[in-house]
Structure 1
Amino acid sequence: MAANARKLVGMAAGAFGISWLVRAAWGIPSAIGASTSAIAPTATGATTYRKGQFHNTEPSSQLTGSGLDLLYQLVTQRDTGRPPGQIPVETPVVPEQAADLAVTWYGHASCLVEVDGYRVLADPVWSERVSPSPLVGPARLHPVPTPLEALPPLDAVLISHDHYDHLDRDTIDTLVRTQRAVFIVPIGIGAHLRQWSVPPQRIVELDWGSSVSLSELEREHDDGTDLVITCSEARHFSGRGLVRNTTLWASWSIAGPTRRVYFGGDTGYTKAFAEAGARLGPFDLTLLPIGAYDRHWPDVHMNPEEAVRAHADLCVGDPGYGLLVPIHWATFNLAFHGWSEPVRRLVAAAQEAGTAVAVPKPGQRIDPIGLPPRDTWWEDVRE
Structure 2
Amino acid sequence: MNRRNFFKWTGLAAIAALAGGVTARSAMAGNKYYSGPVSDHFDGTHFFNPNGEEPAGMMDLLRWKLGNGNIPWPETFASPFPQAMPETRVSGDRLVVTMVGHASMLIQVAGLNILTDPVWSERTSPFNWTGPKRVNPPGIRIGDLPPIDIVLVTHNHYDHLDLETLWVLQGRDKPHFITPLGNDAIIRSKVPDAKITVMDWGGQETVAPGIIFHCEPCHHWSARGLNDRRQALWAAFVFETPAGKIYPIGDTGFHSGINYRAAKEKHGGFRLANLPFGAYEPRWFMAPQHQNPKEAVEGMLLCDAAFVAGHHWGTVKLTNEGIEQPVEALHIALDTRKIPRERFRPMRPGEIFDVPASQSATTRT
SS at match of 2:51: coil
Match of 1:307 in 2: 296
Q: Give the total of aligned pairs.
A: 324
**Are 1:145 and 2:130 matched, yes or no?**
no
| In structure 1, distance between residues paired with 2:224 and 2:111 | 34
Which has the larger displacement, 96-105 or 82-91?
82-91
**Are 1:109 and 2:96 matched, yes or no?**
no
TM-aligned CA distance change 1:178 to 1:68, over 3 Å: closer
* Aligned counterpart in structure 1 of residue 235 of structure 2, from 237, 246, 250: 250
| In structure 1, distance between residues paired with 2:346 and 2:41 | 35
1:322 alignment partner AA: A
Displacement of 1:79: 4.9
Matches within 5 A, 1:367-378: 367-369=354-356
The structure whose Rg is larger is 1
| 8 Å CA contact retained: 2:77, 2:136 | no
Match of 1:96 in 2: 88
SS at match of 1:198: coil
SS at match of 1:166: coil
Matches within 5 A, 1:1-383: 37-41=31-35, 43-45=36-38, 47-63=40-56, 69-73=63-67, 76-82=68-74, 86-99=78-91, 100-199=94-193, 202-215=195-208, 220=209, 226-243=210-227, 244-270=229-255, 271-294=258-281, 295=283, 296-315=285-304, 322-355=306-339, 356-369=343-356
Q: What is the CA RMSD across the aligned residues, in angstroms?
A: 2.7
Displacement of 1:89: 4.3
TM-aligned CA distance change 1:187 to 1:67, over 3 Å: closer
Which has the larger displacement, 268-277 or 327-336?
268-277
Residue ranges of structure 2 left out of the alignment (5+ in a row)? 1-5, 18-27, 359-365
Displacement of 1:331: 0.3
TM-aligned CA distance change 1:67 to 1:192, over 3 Å: closer
| In structure 2, distance between residues paired with 1:306 and 1:83 | 28
Give me the identity figure in percent: 31
| In structure 2, distance between residues paired with 1:67 and 1:333 | 16
| In structure 1, distance between residues paired with 2:336 and 2:76 | 28
TM-aligned CA distance change 1:78 to 1:138, over 3 Å: farther
| In structure 1, distance between residues paired with 2:241 and 2:291 | 27
| 8 Å CA contact retained: 1:158, 1:185 | yes
Match of 1:381 in 2: none
| 8 Å CA contact retained: 1:106, 1:362 | yes
| In structure 2, distance between residues paired with 1:70 and 1:84 | 24
SS at match of 2:295: helix
Match of 2:363 in 1: none
| In structure 2, distance between residues paired with 1:82 and 1:71 | 19
Displacement of 1:83: 6.8
2:56 alignment partner AA: L
| 8 Å CA contact retained: 1:101, 1:367 | yes
TM-aligned CA distance change 1:192 to 1:343, over 3 Å: same
| 8 Å CA contact retained: 2:166, 2:191 | no
Displacement of 1:363: 1.2
Q: TM-score, normalised by structure 1?
A: 0.78
Displacement of 1:149: 2.5
Match of 2:362 in 1: none
| 8 Å CA contact retained: 1:159, 1:166 | yes
| 8 Å CA contact retained: 2:71, 2:321 | no
| In structure 1, distance between residues paired with 2:253 and 2:85 | 32
| 8 Å CA contact retained: 1:118, 1:227 | no
Residue ranges of structure 1 left out of the alignment (5+ in a row)? 1-16, 29-34, 221-225, 316-320, 372-383
Q: TM-score, normalised by structure 2?
A: 0.82
1:182 alignment partner AA: H
| 8 Å CA contact retained: 1:260, 1:282 | yes
2:213 alignment partner AA: I
| In structure 2, distance between residues paired with 1:257 and 1:84 | 40
| In structure 2, distance between residues paired with 1:287 and 1:40 | 28
